[in-house]
Amino acid sequence: MTQAAFFALVAGVIAGIGIYGLITQRHLLRRVLAVNVLGHSIFLLLVALARRDQDYVDPLPHAMVLTGIVIAVSATAFALVLARRYHAETGLVYLPEDEGDKG
């Protein structure tokens, strides 16, 4: 197993953990963390795929990952502000259950 394949496999496992957390958790903070874990697995996959057979590494995926990290930090901060505001308005830390189709 090559190093890139190993990192791709680890990224898949981490993505599975993120998806599991996103589906099973109702708490807003845990959902934000699950989205972060899922995003970081994608970053790991991009870095793993950047390796080539030559002696150099393709710099484009690394630039994309750096840009993605900045965007992820901003989106996380915004999501946490929204969760805090929702808690201040309603006093709840969980989203209400969906009632389904009413009509």
**In a domain? residue 52:** yes
**Which tokens in the block code for residue 89?**
């308005």
pLDDT tens series, the chain, 103 aa: 888 889 999 999 999 999 999 999 989 999 999 999 999 999 999 988 887 677 777 788 889 999 999 999 999 999 999 999 999 999 988 877 767 766 5
Structural domain total, the chain: 1
Q: What is the pTM of this model?
A: 0.82
Whole-angstrom Cα distance, residue 76 to residue 42? 16
Q: What's the burial of 73, exposed, middle or buried (CB within 10 Å: 0-12/13-18/19+)?
A: exposed
Give the CATH number, domain containing residue 37.
Answer: 1.10.287.3510
Whole-angstrom Cα distance, residue 26 to residue 85? 17
Q: Which domain holds residue 16?
A: 3-90
Cβ atoms of residues 1 and 24 within 8 Å? no
